[in-house]
């Protein structure tokens, strides 16, 4: 399979089934491309079965199923590139986002930021070093060298919407170059200049409230999300002769003015209301204003609301020589840095630790929190909340002492001199220290302790705390050392669930029973808790929770498929406990399934355990039959 050209295979399958117009819908499960054809007679089954990479073809449940094996997600993704069928390509591979609306929002933001985290961390670290170099006189701030280095460090933050346009386009399945053009318009110099001029701005006679979109996050994400709907509408409605250039043309003409006319006013008015409320609290309850600013400044930044507060800060400095609104920001920023530092010490995930170190350093030294927020705290959620908690307490203490800043600086340790001459500096230090300590200790003792994970494609991928949501009775029974170990070239694949063993030939699925997917066995499960049969890395975790692919360090590839044709349940009755890329030990929980629901829906609950790379191994010997306890040896593999 390694030599298969999957792009060509996708095209050949498409041609073999009668083209895109003959496909009503397309999806995939752990091993099969599942197509609903409008006319089965147009499909050349014999030709498709001869294609390199295709194991077999079967028709069941009203579907035309092309069995490909472990590489079916790749074929499905390639199919999505050459048709409009794969707009959700890859959607079956990862668990859906769970939790409340805010948690799903955090997951969305984190996933969009993930590919940018390493450059953000590098740029933030460079900004920290440059700030330190100019602060201590090692580098002349007016020198051309500093100008060039500052541009190197600042460019990513200034043009952040363009970078996020690329990752958001991948998430929302839009044309990424059109997305980048929209983002480029938002940060275009003349647009930025319009946001700073006092005269009214209008578009075709429509009054427009401008804001500064540089370094912003949400406007471009919302824009690309809406772009996806518009592009799909235009693609369906426009004639093919003009579609390729007319779709991006109309998308740009609609989306740029739409964002400027809607996002700008909404954000600006919300920010102005927030600024008015906080400023009103300063005279009679400075501690309250300080708690709000210290705790929620990073949230304001996330939603772009800080732009309504910044002009007030600048005006205060210009008219009275200092800004009281800036006083609590040290606690806000350094509280998040403290939480990130705790993650660095607490996590067992090497990739996360590698990001957390420089992210915390750039936060402490330069007040640059984007790498910390989007690469560490926000994906893990609890550290972000704990940073807010520390900021609330620290900001309230600093504001109670009348602390303020005499210049507009990034709140950081190197920026401390700007906060030293307004109000009670001792209380400022006490509040800042309290914010760091509270955030650090809460994160260190109560934050998520991620397990060591296989190298991920990005450092921002979070490992959910699935075990915390699993009842004690459902916790895995540890595998014995004999089972977990590999001795003399032998690997023991354990029974993932207690139950009655069934010979593979007797399984009620033609493909599995034929052995085309490899040797193995079925188990009629006695309960709904499915555990990992080997130690290794999760290579596939279906969104529906019904199938998992695991590869051991010895190179043994095992498929655990819960039930027959249960992909049709679309996740009902299944609760996944692992994600792709996660490391598991033999005996760790993979999923919980409601067997009664599966049975009542008319599906066979037989759970398949298959060694999918049987042909590459010296020997694969499943047990002959009988009753198995969870953790008993089910298959003996000679590597």
Supply the DSSP string of 289-351, one letter for each residue: HHHHHHHHHHHHHHHTGGGGTHHHHHHHHHHHS-BSTTTTHHHHHHHHHHHHHHHHHH---HH
C-alpha span between 291 and 288 (Å, rounded): 5
Decide if 237 contacts 290 (C-beta within 8 A): no
What is the Cα Rg of the chain in Å?
28
C-alpha span between 460 and 464 (Å, rounded): 12
Relative orientation angle of helices 218-237 and 240-284, to the nearest 10 degrees: 160
Report the pLDDT value the prediction gives residue 456, as an integer from 0 to 100.
37
β-bridge mates for residue 622, sequence order: 635
Decide if 199 contacts 192 (C-beta within 8 A): no
Mean pLDDT computed over every residue of the chain: 82
Q: How many C-beta atoms lie closer than 10 Å to residue 625's C-beta?
A: 12
Where in the sequence numbering do the catalytic residues fall? 29, 561
- Reference 392, options 301, 287, 309; nearest CA is 287
Report the pLDDT value the prediction gives residue 61, as an integer from 0 to 100.
67
Range name among 275-279, 284-288, 402-406, 461-465 with the lowest pLDDT average: 461-465
**Cβ neighbours for 27, distance < 8 A, ≥ 6 positions apart:** 34, 76, 92, 567
The total number of residues written for the chain in this structure: 639
Backbone angles phi, psi at 516, to 5 degrees: -60, -30
Report the pLDDT value the prediction gives residue 263, as an integer from 0 to 100.
80
C-alpha span between 248 and 346 (Å, rounded): 47
Report the pLDDT value the prediction gives residue 97, as an integer from 0 to 100.
44
- Which helix (H) or strand (E) element contains residue 229? helix 218-237
Block residue for tokens 């990739």 = 351
470: burial class by Cβ within 10 Å (0-12, 13-18, 19+)?
middle
- Residues 462-507 pLDDT 10s: 333 333 333 333 333 444 333 333 444 788 999 999 999 999 888 8
C-alpha span between 530 and 558 (Å, rounded): 14
Decide if 162 contacts 187 (C-beta within 8 A): yes
Name the DSSP letter for residue 487. Answer: B
- Residues 48-88 pLDDT 10s: 988 988 888 888 767 888 888 777 878 888 888 777 765 44
């Amino acid at each position: 399979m390694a030599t298969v050209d999957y792009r060509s295979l996708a095209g050949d399958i498409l041609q073999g089934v009668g083209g895109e117009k003959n496909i009503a819908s397309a999806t995939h499960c752990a091993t099969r491309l599942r197509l609903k054809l409008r006319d089965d007679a147009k499909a050349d089954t014999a030709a498709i079965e001869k294609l390199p990479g295709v194991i077999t073809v079967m028709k069941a449940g009203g579907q035309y199923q092309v069995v490909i094996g472990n590489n079916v997600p790749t074929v499905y993704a390639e199919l999505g590139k050459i048709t409009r069928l794969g707009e959700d390509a890859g959607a079956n591979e990862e668990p859906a986002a769970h939790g409340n609306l805010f948690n799903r929002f955090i997951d969305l933001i984190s996933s969009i930021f993930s590919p940018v985290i390493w450059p953000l961390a590098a740029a933030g670290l460079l900004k920290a070093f440059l700030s330190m170099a100019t602060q201590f006189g090692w580098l002349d701030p007016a020198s051309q060298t500093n100008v060039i280095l500052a541009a190197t460090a600042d460019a990513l933050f200034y043009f952040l919407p363009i970078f996020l346009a690329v990752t958001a386009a991948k998430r929302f399945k839009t044309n990424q170059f059109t997305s980048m053009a929209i983002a480029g318009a938002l940060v275009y110099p003349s647009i930025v200049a319009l946001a700073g001029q006092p005269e009214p701005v209008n578009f075709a006679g429509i009054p427009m409230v401008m804001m500064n979109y540089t370094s912003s996050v949400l406007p471009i994400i919302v824009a690309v999300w809406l772009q996806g709907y518009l592009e799909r509408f235009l693609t369906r409605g426009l004639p093919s002769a003009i579609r390729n250039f007319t779709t991006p043309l109309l998308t740009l003409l609609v989306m740029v003015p739409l964002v400027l006319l809607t996002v700008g006013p909404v954000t600006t008015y919300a920010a102005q209301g927030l600024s008015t409320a906080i400023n009103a609290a300063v005279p009679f309850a400075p501690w309250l204003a300080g708690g709000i600013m210290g705790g929620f400044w990073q949230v304001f930044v996330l939603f772009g609301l800080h732009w309504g507060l910044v002009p007030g800060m600048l005006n205060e400095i210009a008219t009275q020589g200092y800004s009281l609104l800036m006083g609590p920001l040290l606690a806000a920023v350094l509280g998040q840095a403290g939480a990130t530092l705790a993650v660095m010490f607490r996590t067992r995930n090497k990739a996360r630790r590698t990001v957390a170190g420089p992210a915390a350093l750039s936060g402490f030294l330069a007040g640059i929190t984007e790498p910390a927020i989007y690469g560490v705290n926000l994906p893990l959620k609890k550290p972000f909340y704990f940073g807010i908690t520390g900021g609330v307490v620290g900001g309230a203490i600093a504001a109670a002492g009348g602390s303020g800043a005499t210049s507009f600086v990034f709140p950081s340790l190197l920026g401390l001199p700007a906060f030293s001459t307004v109000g009670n500096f001792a209380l400022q230090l006490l509040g800042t220290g309290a914010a760091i300590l509270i955030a650090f200790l809460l994160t260190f003792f109560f934050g998520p302790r991620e397990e060591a994970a296989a190298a991920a494609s990005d450092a921002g991928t979070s490992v959910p705390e699935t075990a915390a949501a699993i009842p004690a009775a459902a916790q895995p029974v540890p595998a014995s050392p004999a089972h977990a170990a590999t001795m003399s070239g032998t690997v023991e694949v354990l029974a993932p669930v207690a139950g009655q063993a069934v010979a593979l030939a007797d399984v009620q699925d033609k493909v599995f029973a034929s052995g085309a997917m490899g040797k193995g066995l079925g188990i009629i499960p006695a309960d709904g808790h499915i555990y990992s049969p080997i130690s290794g890395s999760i290579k596939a975790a279906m969104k529906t929770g019904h199938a998992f692919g695991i590869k051991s360090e010895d190179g043994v590839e095992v498929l655990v498929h819960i039930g027959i044709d249960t992909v049709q349940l679309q996740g009902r009755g299944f609760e996944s406990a692992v994600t792709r890329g996660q490391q598991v030990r033999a005996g760790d929980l993979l999923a919980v399934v409601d067997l009664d629901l599966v049975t009542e829906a008319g599906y066979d609950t037989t759970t398949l355990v298959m060694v999918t790379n049987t042909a590459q191994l010296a020997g694969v010997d499943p047990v002959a039959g009988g009753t198995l306890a969870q953790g008993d040896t089910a298959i003996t593999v000679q590597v």
